[in-house]
Amino acid sequence: SAVISQKPSRDICQRGTSLTIQCQVDSQVTMMFWYRQQPGQSLTLIATANQGSEATYESGFVIDKFPISRPNLTFSTLTVSNMSPEDSSIYLCSVEDGGSMNTEAFFGQGTRLTVV
């Protein structure tokens, strides 16, 4: 399975600032995703990171708040902009390995963000 590295693993940030989270995969993957996991909750998809084009956002998530980049098939970033305490969550990068329909999805270790 693909090995996924996320940076930073955790951070404490001041409200009003922005944080960029990096996701690096050890092999080329077709699909990359960003999820949010609020404290004690399940995972919610933020967006699909598309290589070379704008990300596709799910309902309730917008590009101005969560800009995403994916310059190549092994790397993506998620920025959490103008943060408020409600943004305190674990942010997870996920990849689909194999390139064909409905292959397994793997997750990074996550970035635990606390906004104060």
Partner 1 sequence: GENVEQHPSTLSVQEGDSAVIKCTYSDSASNYFPWYKQELGKGPQLIIDIRSNVGEKKDQRIAVTLNKTAKHFSLHITETQPEDSAVYFCAVSSGNTGKLIFGQGTTLQVKP
Compute and round to an integer the Cα radius of gyration of the chain. 13
- Nearer to partner 1 among residue 19 and residue 34 (C-beta): 34
Determine which residue in the list 83, 87, 108, 113 makes contact with partner 1, applying CB under 8 A: 108
Determine which residue in the list 42, 53, 64, 116 makes contact with partner 1, applying CB under 8 A: 42
Shortest spacing between CB 105 and partner 1, in angstroms? 6
Shortest spacing between CB 91 and partner 1, in angstroms? 10
Q: Does 73 bind partner 1 (CB under 8 A)?
A: no
Window contacting partner 1 (CB under 8 A); options: 16-24, 64-72, 81-89, 102-110: 102-110
What residues numbered 74-93 form the site for partner 1, per CB under 8 A? Answer: 92
Q: Are 116 and 85 in contact (CB under 8 A)?
A: yes
- Residues forming beta bridges with residue 76, ordered by sequence position: 23
Q: Measured between alpha carbons, how far is 23 from 39 in angstroms, rounded to an integer?
A: 21
Strand positions, DSSP E, 26-104:
31-37, 43-49, 56-57, 68-72, 75-80, 89-96
